[in-house]
């Protein structure tokens, strides 16, 4: 037996070519996976699969929050809300036909004036530097006119803009709808 090693010579692991003599010894070598581990693994795979399907199939809105100026009018059907936006936002609104929400209610339409307004023109429109703090003003700005589906609710707080009374209202403009995976990967298509 010069060429064969005994179990003691193979070390603590024993011989890999060792034959199993009985079924009790076989049970010692085979470890059965607990069913709860399979359930946890299956649940994790289902969760990852669901997230991947959602990331490629769903769409999420990319919105810009701003403050709108809602002039007080006698006839609610003539209500309009004006927003000051930057060039990139104006281009997105014109290119996509963006949706807008005034106080959470979807508006009928959004139009952008193609003629830019300087910061001083916007300040003249607002009539006060105090209100300009509520609105983000750039060197060049574009006036977005939003037609609400219903008249915005008025508060007791009124502002005076170039000869008319108005209310400041929260506006959300959806400039893009994209898939979640595009946001994760950093692309906007």
**pLDDT tens digits, residue range 147-162?**
888 777 766 666 777 6
Over 60: is that where the pLDDT of 15 sits?
no
Q: Which of 114, 122, 108 is nearest to 144 (CA)?
A: 114
Percent of the chain beyond pLDDT 70? 77
19, two tokens: 């034959």
| Cα-Cα end-to-end distance for the chain | 73
Average pLDDT of the residues in 58-64? 87
- So what's the pLDDT on residue 11? 53
97: Cβ–Cβ under 8 A, 6 or more apart, which residues?
A: 110
| CA–centroid distance for 111 within its chain | 23
Mean pLDDT of the chain: 78
**pLDDT tens digits, residue range 28-57?**
667 777 888 889 999 999 999 999 999 999
28 or 187: which leads in pLDDT: 187
57, two tokens: 């199939």
Domains of the chain: 7-57 (no CATH), 60-181 (2.40.30.170)
Measured CA distances, 107 to 76, 81, 131, 150, 151 (Å)? 14, 10, 24, 8, 10
């Amino acid at each position: 037996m010069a060429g064969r090693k005994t179990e003691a010579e193979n070390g603590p692991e024993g011989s890999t070519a060792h034959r199993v003599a009985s079924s009790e010894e076989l049970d010692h070598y085979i470890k059965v996976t607990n069913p709860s581990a399979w359930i946890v693994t299956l649940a994790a795979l289902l969760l990852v699969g669901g997230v991947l399907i959602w990331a490629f199939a769903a769409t999420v809105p990319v919105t810009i929050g701003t403050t709108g100026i809602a002039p007080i009018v006698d006839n609610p059907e003539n209500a309009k809300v004006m927003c000051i936006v930057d060039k990139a936002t104006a281009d997105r609104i014109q290119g996509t036909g963006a949706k807008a929400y005034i106080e959470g209610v979807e508006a009928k339409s959004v139009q952008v004036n193609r003629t830019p307004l300087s910061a001083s023109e916007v300040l003249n429109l607002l009539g006060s530097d105090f209100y300009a703090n509520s609105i983000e003003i750039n060197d060049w700005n574009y006036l977005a006119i939003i037609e609400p589906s219903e008249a915005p609710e008025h508060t007791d707080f009124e502002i005076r803009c170039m000869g008319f009374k108005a209310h400041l209202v929260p506006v959300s403009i959806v400039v893009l709808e994209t898939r979640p995976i595009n946001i994760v990967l950093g692309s906007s298509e």
